[in-house]
Amino acid sequence: MTEKIEGEKSMGSLFFLVTCSVFLCFCSIYTESIAVNSITRSQPLSDGQTLVSGQERFVLGFFSAGVSRNRYVGIWYTDIPVQTVVWVANRDKPLIDSSGVLRIDVRGNLVLVNQKNYIFWSSNLSRAAENPVVELLESGNLVLQDQRGGVAGDFLWQSFDYPSDTLLPGMKLGWNLKTGLDRRLTSWKSPDDPSSGELSYGIELHGYPEAVMWKGTEEHYRSGPWNGLRYSGAPELAPNMVFSFSFTANADEVYYIYQLNQQGSILSRLVLNQSSNNGGELQRFTWNGKSNSWQLFLSVPRDYCDTYGLCGAYSNCDTNQSPPCRCLGGFKPKSLGNWNSMDWSGGCVQKTALSCKGHEGFLMFSGLKLPDTKRTWVNRSMDLNECEMMCLKNCSCNAYARADVRGGGSGCVLWFGDLIDIRQFPISSSSSGQDLFIRVDASELAVAQGDSKRKGKVIVAVTIALVSGILLLGCSGWYLWKWKINMTSPEGKEVDNEEQDIVEKSQMDDLELPCFNLATIAIATNNFSDSNKLGEGGFGPVYKGELCGGQEIAVKRLSKNSLQGIDEFKNEVILISKLQHRNLVKVLGCCIEGAETMLIYEYMENKSLDHYIFDEKRSTLLDWEKRFNIVFGIARGLLYLHQDSRLRIIHRDLKASNILLDCNMEPKISDFGMARIFGGDQIEAETDKVVGTYGYMSPEYAIEGLFSVKSDVFSFGVLVLEMVSGKKNRGFSKPEHQLNLLGHAWKLWNEGKALELIVPSVRDSCVATEVLRCIHVGLLCVQQQMENRPTMSSVVFMLGSENAVLPQPQQPGFFSEKYSTKASSSSSSMQHSSSTNCVTVTLLSGR
Ligand SMILES: *[C@@H]1O[C@H](CO)[C@@H](O)[C@H](O)[C@H]1NC(C)=O
Ligand SMILES: *[C@@H]1O[C@H](CO)[C@@H](O)[C@H](O)[C@H]1NC(C)=O
């Protein structure tokens, strides 16, 4: 009997609960659903209400960005699950509460005010409106029209004239010359802060207009001028099935616009994104309904050759060459010293100075992105011959080209001043790059004409000149030293090798990289004996060696699956050997003979980090101070690879055994640049064989093969947590749960017991605040979502500043042990186990 009563009671309370929640649901639906179609004097819009477009593609309302609580008025897509904001009214002046109202004031302006009537944003009409109505069009354009006396479509104000960070189809980017209105994109400061960031993108009004991306006050990327079909620097953006692009330049307007060919079925946006890779990009996204996500169609800058002015004046940037910068024919480096040490900013100068006395002509270069158009002059009706005459007549004219490439080409552009920011596109594909005619002295013309006949001879002559020049410059020390070795070497055969070696070297025009011959290396390593073997890396075995002079070296014998040819390989090694940082292992040279390809490094006597941190005894040799110093050093080395070096290297296999320690226990990252040497595609294809070590791999890399600087950041985070805990992430186990090291660290963190993570041998020497900061940074680095992970520059900052307020880490990627051991099997099991992950998440956050 009592039981039954109790049962009824609980039924009653259940009923009560249900009613309540239905009511609550109803309430929330009710507030959400106050959607209107227009704003008028009598119908303002307050926080919580929305204004929708006719077919409801777009909606305007109040929102908060990311973790921020500030309130903004903005426009976003109605049906896209991740709120994608395309326009913000009060981006630089947020409301701090939800008292905001968007209404029409006495003059007819649309204004955003708070409850004290303080104005946060206004449409600032130039003339008053009598009967203003504000509507959101299906294109995403917020418009204000005067319904009395106004003509339909005659907007007194429209949001398309004041872009935020996004260009939607049908929006103009550029100038209304009559009113002086300049429509340009400005990035958000961060995903949490829509205020104007440091990147902006707009049309520069030169003689021959082009779009330029600015980073603060510095030019960051140029689109190249519009050549009638497309931007000269973006051949892939010629009209295609999805988009049509156009550029208008007349006395009234200069603007760029794009449209979708099948309107309605596809969504697309062009966004200037400061929070993307490499410090900011202009990204073109299309919506993929199947995967329910935005798909990146294209982004610029694409590579280092897109970096504004990387190669200086009169020099051509070519990603297929290394080093990428080459002086144009007829030009030579302004400073050979700087040029050879990879500082190309000084650019090149005429080999024979121009006298402008009629002894001049033009050399044609094909497949180029046309140079900076700041000082240009355009005539759209001249033909190419008239153009040449025109340029020849004016001594300050340095080059000319066709202004329009359509229909065989027409028009004329002249360049005055230095030619900067040229890049090479593959000449083979017909639609890429343009012809540029550059003024040179007649003697250079003759050289160039002879060149095509006697090309071989000229190169030999140039090489000999270079060889002797560099020898004279005092770089001969190495050769002398090597000669000495060979003189004393027992094998007579070697002298032949030596000659061959030098011949080979002279074929490369960079002579600074020592190429060791095989015999030297064989002697140094005791004929690659097992006793000299230091270990086996992802790319092949590593041997210790000692050269005759006594210098100790480490020799990495590469397995033979590099896709590159020998010349490319050498060039790559030259580039990489020029990366110098105290936290990178120094590459001394290479050896290529027959089927053997080897890299020679400086030898690190203290072996690698994994020797210490995972070994109970040796672990005591690394006290906290040393550990913190090592963490810091690795971060700095990685930052150099990601940002400060000119090559933007993603390591892709950062782990304890790839961190070597010198005699001062200073960390040196090794195996960097291997990814470059082996070529990107191959690595992706052979992920589990060549590059990447489970336990250190980010989820997006392991599952989708996507790598970016953020995958290195993930590996770095794992490494930090391993250094603090003295445990390997892979194979970590605790009887009480199934989490791996990342999961364990996160659990302790959430329980406020993070200090329990620290390895006992270090407990006495540690500084608790530093340990906590390391764990905190480590957890930020291993977050599941790559966009949440910090960049290496913020990692270095966070590690170094005691008072910085760090964001709270979110769920790490791959934190269940089950998950990481399964990671090597197929992707379907991956999905399955990721749902296991979700369960773990709920359990954890429930505590
Ligand atoms: C900015 O770029 C990042 C990384 O590519 C991306 O995740 C993010 O969604 C982009 N932001 C916008 C507003 O599209
Ligand atoms: C050459 O062109 C520049 C730029 O248009 C102009 O200022 C200068 O007067 C011209 N010089 C001659 C000699 O025509």
What lies within 8 Å, CB to CB, of 231 at 6+ separation is 210, 211, 223, 224, 225, 237
Give yes or no: residues 4 and 115 share one domain.
Answer: no
Give yes or no: residues 725 and 711 share one domain.
Answer: yes
User: Which is it for strands 315-317 and 422-424: parallel, antiparallel or unpaired?
Assistant: parallel
Flag whether 247 is in a domain: yes
Residue among 275, 784, 791 whose CB has most ligand 1 atoms within 8 A, to mutate? 275
Of 139, 157, 175, at which residue does a domain stop? 157
Flag whether 280 is in a domain: yes
Give yes or no: residues 108 and 218 share one domain.
Answer: no
Residue 30 has pLDDT above 90, yes or no: no
Q: What is the pLDDT of residues 471-493, one digit of tens each?
A: 344 333 333 344 333 333 333 33
Q: Are 380 and 457 in contact (CB under 8 A)?
A: no
User: Which of 478, 477, 510 minimizes the C-alpha distance to 339?
Assistant: 510
Q: Is 416 in the pocket of ligand 2 (CB under 6 A)?
A: yes
Give yes or no: residues 632 and 589 share one domain.
Answer: no
Give yes or no: residues 668 and 712 share one domain.
Answer: yes
Ligand 2: residue whose CA is nearest its atom 13: 394
Spatial separation of the C-alpha atoms in residues 117 and 109, rounded to whole Å: 14
What is the helix (H) or strand (E) element at residue 479, kind and residue range? helix 477-488
User: Which of 315, 319, 314 minimizes the C-alpha distance to 303?
Assistant: 319
Q: Dig out the tokens for 243 from the structure.
A: 């988009």
Give yes or no: residues 426 and 510 share one domain.
Answer: no
CATH of the domain at 491: 3.30.200.20
For residue 275, the CA-to-ligand 1 centroid distance in Å is: 7
pTM of the predicted model as reported, rounded to 2 decimal places = 0.55
Q: Are 267 and 166 in contact (CB under 8 A)?
A: no
Q: Dig out the tokens for 116 from the structure.
A: 């004290």
Q: What would the DSSP string read from start to end of 59-80?
A: EEEEE--TT---BEEEEEESS-
Mean pLDDT to the nearest integer, 418-439: 82
Residue 413, SS3? strand
What lies within 8 Å, CB to CB, of 509 at 6+ separation is 462, 463, 466
Catalytic-residue membership of 653 = yes
CATH of the domain at 825: 1.10.510.10
Catalytic residue, candidates 653, 662, 671, 712: 653
Flag whether 450 is in a domain: no
Of 157, 191, 226, at which residue does a domain stop? 157
Q: What would the DSSP string read from start to end of 132-195?
A: EEEEE-TTS-EEEEETTTPPTT--SEEGGGS--SEE-TT--EEEETTTTEEE-EEEEEETTEEE
Residue 498 has pLDDT above 50, yes or no: no
Q: Are 650 and 594 in contact (CB under 8 A)?
A: no
Stronger pLDDT, 537 or 33, i.e. the higher one: 537
Give yes or no: residues 415 and 515 share one domain.
Answer: no
Domain with 1 in it: 1-33
Flag whether 46 is in a domain: yes
Give yes or no: residues 660 and 727 share one domain.
Answer: yes
Give yes or no: residues 696 and 816 share one domain.
Answer: yes
Give yes or no: residues 672 and 770 share one domain.
Answer: yes
Flag whether 144 is in a domain: yes
What is the helix (H) or strand (E) element at residue 634, kind and residue range? helix 624-639
Spatial separation of the C-alpha atoms in residues 682 and 342, rounded to whole Å: 28
Q: Are 781 and 716 in contact (CB under 8 A)?
A: yes
For residue 274, the CA-to-ligand 1 centroid distance in Å is: 8
Of 603, 632, 659, at which residue does a domain stop? 603
Residue 828 has pLDDT above 50, yes or no: no
For residue 192, the CA-to-ligand 2 centroid distance in Å is: 50
Flag whether 213 is in a domain: yes
In whole numbers, what is the pLDDT of the chain averaged over residues?
Answer: 80
Query: In this predicted structure, what is the pLDDT of residue 541?
Result: 84
Spatial separation of the C-alpha atoms in residues 689 and 687, rounded to whole Å: 6
Query: In this predicted structure, what is the pLDDT of residue 289?
Result: 78
Query: In this predicted structure, what is the pLDDT of residue 452?
Result: 55
For residue 396, the CA-to-ligand 2 centroid distance in Å is: 7
Give yes or no: residues 566 and 620 share one domain.
Answer: no
Query: In this predicted structure, what is the pLDDT of residue 24?
Result: 43
Residue 299, SS3? strand
Domain count, the chain: 6
Give yes or no: residues 571 and 713 share one domain.
Answer: no
CATH of the domain at 76: 2.90.10.10
Flag whether 466 is in a domain: no
Distance spanning both ends of the chain, measured CA to CA: 37
Q: Are 231 and 211 in contact (CB under 8 A)?
A: yes
Residue among 394, 416, 439 whose CB has most ligand 2 atoms within 8 A, to mutate? 394
Q: What is the pLDDT of residues 688-703, one digit of tens each?
A: 433 567 788 888 777 7
Q: What is the pLDDT of residues 63-110, one digit of tens each?
A: 999 999 999 999 999 999 989 999 999 999 999 999 999 999 999 999
Flag whether 167 is in a domain: yes
Stronger pLDDT, 163 or 682, i.e. the higher one: 163
Query: In this predicted structure, what is the pLDDT of residue 455?
Result: 43
Pocket, ligand 1, Cβ cutoff 6 A = 271, 273, 275-276, 787
